[in-house]
Structures are given as C-alpha cells and as structure tokens.
Chain A
Amino acid sequence: MTRSHNPKPVLILIPVVACLAVLFYRYDTDSKTRHPNTHQGSAPHKGGTLVFATEREPLCLDPHVYGDMPQVYIAEQYLDRLVSMDEQGTIHPWLATSWEIADGGLTYVFHLRHDVTFTDGTKFDAAAVKRNLDHMVDPATQSGTAGGYIRQYTRTDILDPYTAMVHLSSPYSAFLNVLAQGFLGIESPAALARPRDVNCQSPVGSGPFIIAHWDHQSEVILRRNPAYAWGPSTAQHQGPAWLDGIVWRFIAEPSVRFAMLQAGEVGVIDSVPPEGETPAKANPDVSLLMADRPGNPTNGTLNTLRPPFNDIRVREAFIRSADIDGALGSIFFHHYARAGGPLSLSTPDYSPNFEHTKDYDPKRANELLEKAGWKDRDSEGYRLRDGKRLTVHIPISTVLAPADRTLWEQVQATARQTGFDVRLEPLSETANIARSDAWDYDVRIGYWNTNTPDVLRIVFGSAFTNHFQHGIHQNASGYSSPIFDGVVEQALATQDPQQRKALYQQAQEIIAKAHLQITTYSQTTRLGVFSNVHGVRIEPSLRVINFYDAWMTP
C-alpha cells in the first residue's frame, strides 16, 4: 500500500474555514464582553439596545387574546393601564386620573388623561376605554384571562370625551386590582379594529416601547416611544424610556439562557434555573432580582368528588404525609420558600396564620387514616380498607417542569411511609386537559397568579366548578360551600378595606381547615441581570419584568 494519497484541497478547506469562523466569533465575543463596569451609581445613560432572553414565546402579542404569562411580559413594555398598583397593593391613577364608585359598587366613573396618544397617532379617550373593555369580553376575542376577570362587566357609557362610566352586573371590589394587571392593558382602538389575528402580530399601545417586528420562533424587536410622557407614579422617572430598544429573544433552555448571561451576551434573563443561583451569587458580573408572585401558590389540589379524598380525614392525612419542606430544600437548594397557606405571601390581605397549619406530621397522618378506616396494610406496606388499596392518581403533564416532577416524586416517597400508593401518571398536556375536564384525577397540579385575594373565589368557589360537569373548571377540588361563597361574595361587595381584610381572613381560614390543597412554593419572578444593565424593575401587580426605567452603561 502506498501512502501518497492527497486529499482534495476542498476537503482541507472545510476545517480551515470552520476554524476561521470560530476564531472570528471568539474575537467578536471578546470585544463585547470584556468591558469593565465603571459606571455604577452614575446617572442613567440614554441609548443602547438591551437583549433580554426569555423562556417562552407568546402565541399572540395582544394580551386580551388567550392570556398567558409570556404575553403579559411583553404587554408590560408597550401597553399602559387605567390604574397602577404599588408594592403595598394600593391603587394609583395612570391613564385614569381619578374615579368614583357609585351604586354600591355597580358603576365606576373614570376621569381620563387628556394628553395620551397611542403610537399609531390615535388619541386616547373614553371611546378607547369602551372599545378595550368590550374587546376583552367579546367571545370572538378568545380571551382566557382578561375577559374572565371582568365577567361582571356589562357596558361602558361615554359621558364626555374624557369621562367613561363602566357598569357591572354585581359588585366587584377587585375590579381596580385586575385593571392594574398587564392583561387588561389599553390598546389603540384603531389597531383593535383590524382582524384579531392581524392585531396579534402587531398590536399598538401607548406605552414606553413600540412593537417594531416579530420574527417568530426567534425574537420580538421593541423600540422606544419618543413621545412617552405619561408613566405611572410607581416608575422611577418620567418621559421616554432610556433604552433605544429591546431585543426580546426566546431561548427555551434554562442552562443556555444562564450561560449567555454569564458571558454577557444577553443583558437580562428570566426564569433563572435553581441550579444557577449559587454560581450567579458567586459571579460579580451577575445579580439576581426576585419577587414572589401574588395569587394561589403552586399546589396539588385534592379532588373531593371521589374517594379517597371525599373524606376530609384522608385529605389531611395526605397533606401531612408530604414532606414539602424537605423536598424544597433538596430540589431547589433552599432557594424557594415554602408557601403554606392558600394565598402567596405577596397577595393583598394575605394572612400569615396558615403557614404552618399543614406541616409534615406523619404521626397525625397515621392516626387520621386509622380513624378513617384505612387500618390494614398489604405486603408492600400500603394501607387497605375493605380489601382496596389507598391509591392516589396524579396526572403529570409533559409540560410540568422537571423540578416540579421531582417534587411530586418526593411527595410520593414520603406519603408511601404512611401507606399511600401514589401513582404519578405521565401524559401529554392534551391528555392531561382531557383528564382534568373529566374530573379524572385525585390531585391536580397547578397555580393561579393574580393580584387580588379574589383568587380564592375562582379556585374554591362553587361558581367555578362547571356544575361538576365535564369541561373546563377552575375549582379543581370540587369544593362547594355556601358559607365560603357567601364570605367571598361579601368581600367583593364591600368597599371598606378593613372589613374586606377581615372577610378574606375568614375565607383563608375556611379553606385552610377544609384541607383542599398541598401548597408547595410561591410562583416567583427570577431575573438574572448583567452588570452593565441597571434600573430593571419588577412591577408590583403581577411581578412582571419592566424595562421602562432600565438603562445600560455604554
């Protein structure tokens, strides 16, 4: 055999070109990332384009349609709302300068700013308010969130160009709270006049940024609204935003987002993975910004419509068999705090009294199960009653995050010790929805983010059981109590904050005592920020990222 073989030049070229490309890219990133940060603490600098890497892409940029969290993240940047909410849960003026509540909470008269213009040139006025509220409740809008939050809305009367009178069918003291959410942002009526699917691609607001372009599966480009002069009082400055624009990139993989942040290739990321928090704290170029979201915390809701959880003793036994604190520590490295009660800590009228009423207590769990008749144990250690095993079916959707899945595996392991046979049943999201619609589960895993304790009515009220029929139901436990319904209805009717607080205290107590959920941890906003980015805020109503005050060191 000879060794005189010469590969063709073109074959040699491939690795050479590849190497050159690599070297060039390296040079490129080096020049981007190695700037020392010397401008900390100085006045905000105007200019620059921020790259934000986020987990999920919205399906529609108009938050009235559908209504998922990724939509509200973007809506926060380009839409304003009628009112704003501060850290304490107090409502402040925004596009509405003042309002009066009359007829025992059935009518709201909003007095509007005169100086607001949408970025397509349309003037903001009472007709725009009417058009927006009508749009949210219009079935053709296909609203899953905004429309659902204002079911009580009947109509808007335009009293004069800058005064709108909104009529409700029943008193709804949470109305201003939900109006402060990004889901209920005010869009240009001229843009809303286009077909829904067109408006989804390029909605128009009056906010500090403008949607310039949406490259599907890749990024949304936002640029500054130079005319912006009506920021909310909760912001740190007035006038146009500091940034020239934002590149809103969709990077689904958490470890990739985090690596890009550490390299300074992106300025801000969301959903920092739990395993990234310790390295982030050790990296001087990365800071973390976190906030608990209000609402009903991440939980497993027990189905009270069928055995074994139609027995309150078995429900309490199951909750007390689950070592949630231990699981959170081992899975999330102690970065996620326990949420013990039916409300997240940051929800208005939150009561701390129920944080530890459901702690891990296997001894009490065993006693309760004995009393409930689950006395015998089979050869594998599971409890039996009338020869039937104490089995709990938990559908686990493919969209559930791996960490959450591990959390339920730990619940399975600790509940086994008290004799529960917990079956974690992996299935597709569509199959999961079908099981949910059919009430075919013992535990349904979920959460509900909203900025009002009225979430209790949605999650536990009998009006949200879909009459126990097949179909979509927000009340996953099937709990139905006229006393509880009365308390939350009263809380909606009262305009007295003290009385409302007392009523919601009572509602939380009723729910805690009914043992309907294993609550685990609060939903959180977890941002990672590179050292050249400043002024990123988490807005208070839904704890959503806000770039209005953000600026970058040049």
Chain B
Amino acid sequence: MTKRLASQRLISRIGLSLGMLFASATLTFLAVRMMPGDPATIILGGAMANPTPGAVAAITKEYGLDRPLIVQYGFYIWRLLHGDLGISFSQHLHVAEVLRQQMLPTLALASLSLFLAWALALVSVFCTVRRGRVLSSLGASLDISAAALPPFWLGIVLLWIFAFRLHLLPPAGSSSLASLIMPALSLAIPLGGFLAQVTRESMEIALDQPFILSARMRGLSMGQVLRRHALRHALLPGIALSAWALGALLGETAVIEAIFSRKGLGRTLVYAVSAQDMPLTTGIVLFVTVAYILASLVIEIIHELVDPRLATSRRRSASLWL
C-alpha cells in the first residue's frame, strides 16, 4: 500500500516538474518574441548603428528570424528536447557555457543569503521571544522593520557606509569572500525579518502547548525547552517558505548584482531581456526553474525530517517522503 503511494507520488512529481519546465519555456519564448522591436537591429547596435542591409539580412537568416513564429517555436522546443539550449544572440556564446560561467556566483549569493537570513531570524527569535514585554515587542518590531526594507535600498545604504565611508568592504567585484558580505546581507536582512516573523508566531503558539508546560515542570530551563521542544514546531512554517524564498532570492540577485557589480545570472538575465536575446533569456529562466524544483524537493525532505509528527510516521514507512 505505502509502496504504491510512494511511486504514484514520484510519478506525479516528475510530471509536475516537466510541466513546469515546459510552461516556463513556452511563456518565456512568447514573452521575448512578442516584445516590440527587431532582434536583428538590436544585435547590430540599435537604432543608431550603421549596418549594411546585407548584414541585417544575414542575421535574420542566421537566427531564423524570418520564419513564422510557430515554426521558430517548434524548432526551439525540438532543440530543447535534445538538450540544446542554443547560442546566445548577443554574447556569441553557447547558452550552456554562459550558465556554467555565471551560475556559481549567483548560487553562492542566494544560498549564503538564505543561510544568513535563517541565522538572523533564529537569533532574533531566540533572544526575544517570551523574554518580557519590552524585549519581545522590541524583537517583533525589529523583525517587521527588517522585513519591510527593500534589498536594493539596503544595498545602497550598506555600500555607502561600509565601502564609501569606512572603506571596510570592497564596493564591487565577485572574486573574494569579502565581496560577498554586503550583497548577501542586503538580501538576508529583509528575508530574515520575514522568516523571524513567521517563526516567532509559530514559536509562541508552540510555547502555549501543554507539552511545554509539562517539560518546564520536569525542570528544564526555558532555553532547553525552546531548543528541544518548541523549536521543531516553530521552524516548520519558515522551512516550508524557504523554497519560495530561494526562488525569490534568485530573482532579486538581478538588482543586487547590478549594485555591487558582481558577475552572475541575474545581471545576465537583465541584459538578455533588454537585448531580446531569446535563447539566453529562456536558458536562464529554465535554469532558475530547475533550481526552484530541486530546492522544493530538498525543502520537503528537510520539512519531514524536522516535523516530529511526520517523524513518527516516517519510522513506519521510510520512503514516504518521496
């Protein structure tokens, strides 16, 4: 019974993932190709370039821009099915090569931001929840204020203070670990505030449960109760939101990478869209979709590992999380 359930879940999950990939490939293709303007002109330098008509014709033919849209779409999907992401119009590189060059800095930034966000959220919740009215409300208002900060604004403020005024951190670049600190904090502080809000609320609900009272009566300190009993319950909503958060972070890197002159997918995507570079735009969107699907899977596993109720049923059926 449980085995069949697991394989059914696996099949439907794979089907759903493929559907998501197909939908994002199609939507991105349409969005880019329906934008006004002629990619051939943009490739040659825009309205002010001086190409010969021969050069415009050569580009139109090379990228198949003279074919009907439905034919272009058909070729595009056919190549995708063969694992060929195509060649970027504007960068003169294979899309797979652009992804290979640009993905690590972006993934490093997004995952460090998520890690820092959780660290900040836990510090805020641990230090202030149920610690007296003043401290509790101070913590809660800090969370709200942090969650309300726009990352780009925070990035500029951090840049101004730590790079321009104090000269403590490099204002630009992507080679050193130091260059990662400010971009990661700009993304982590607002997200951390948001995760702290969610965690604080569920922590307070958990702390009102009868088992907390009984644990305290067994003589455990407040800290021990928080860590051993309340935390598991309190973490769950935040963990469930983390896959969404990672997706959102990958999107927000575009602005942050631009502010801190970092290399990465976000900046490349912004450029690809403005240049109507269809293969590159769809390639990056597909990459982010895959990252999101994988992140959801990982988060689901973590969720079931952390959830004490699911842990009991896990002992009964080890493969349920699939």
Q: What residues make up the interface of A, taking CB atoms closer than 8 Å to B?
A: 1-7, 11, 14, 18, 21-22, 24-26, 29, 53, 59-60, 65-68, 137, 139-145, 147-149, 151, 196-197, 200-201, 215-218, 249-253, 255-257, 259-260, 263, 265, 398-399, 428-434, 436-437, 444, 446-448, 458, 471-472, 474
Contact = CB atoms under 8 A, between A and B. Distances in A.
Contact of A197 (B57, B92, B174, B263): B92
Contacts of A260: 171-172
A259 B119 contact: no
**B54, B92, B223 — most chain A CB neighbours (10 Å):** B92
Contacts of B263: 215-218
B36 interface: yes
B47 A472 contact: yes
B214 interface: no
B192 to A, nearest CB: 12
Contacts of A448: 48
**A3, A149, A253, A431 — most chain B CB neighbours (10 Å):** A253
B41 A472 contact: yes
B49 A148 contact: yes
B181 A139 contact: no
A147 B55 CA distance: 9
B58 interface: yes
21 contacts: A1-B131, A1-B222, A5-B226, A11-B123, A14-B119, A24-B178, A137-B52, A144-B45, A147-B55, A151-B52, A201-B92, A217-B174, A252-B258, A256-B159, A430-B274, A430-B276, A431-B36, A432-B47, A433-B46, A472-B51, A474-B48
Interface of B: 35-38, 41-52, 54-59, 62, 87, 90-93, 98, 101-102, 116, 119, 122-123, 126-127, 130-132, 159, 162-164, 167-178, 181, 221-223, 226, 258-264, 267-268, 274, 276
The 10 closest A-B pairs by CB, nearest first: A148-B50, A430-B37, A217-B263, A144-B49, A139-B58, A436-B47, A139-B54, A144-B45, A434-B36, A144-B44
A430 B42 contact: yes
**B48, B87, B130, B263 — most chain A CB neighbours (10 Å):** B48
A18 B130 CA distance: 29
A7 B127 contact: yes
A60 B91 CA distance: 7
Contacts of B92: 59-60, 65, 196-197, 200-201
B55 A143 contact: yes
A67 B49 contact: yes
Contacts of B223: 2, 4-6
B222 A5 contact: yes
B137 to A, nearest CB: 14
A444 B176 CA distance: 43
A428 B51 CA distance: 22
A67 B130 contact: no
A432 B123 CA distance: 49
Contacts of B178: 21-22, 24-25
Given A217-B267, A265-B170, A1 B102 contact: no
B230 to A, nearest CB: 12
A94 B22 CA distance: 56
B268 to A, nearest CB: 6
A399 B42 CA distance: 13
Given A139-B55, A430-B37, A145 B45 contact: yes
Contacts of B177: 21
B278 to A, nearest CB: 12
A201 B159 CA distance: 32
Given A4-B221, A26-B168, A251-B172, A149 B50 contact: yes
A137 B54 CA distance: 9
A66 B45 contact: yes
Given A137-B52, A217-B102, A256-B172, A2 B222 contact: yes
B290 to A, nearest CB: 21
A218 B171 CA distance: 14
Contacts of A201: 92-93
A175 B55 CA distance: 20
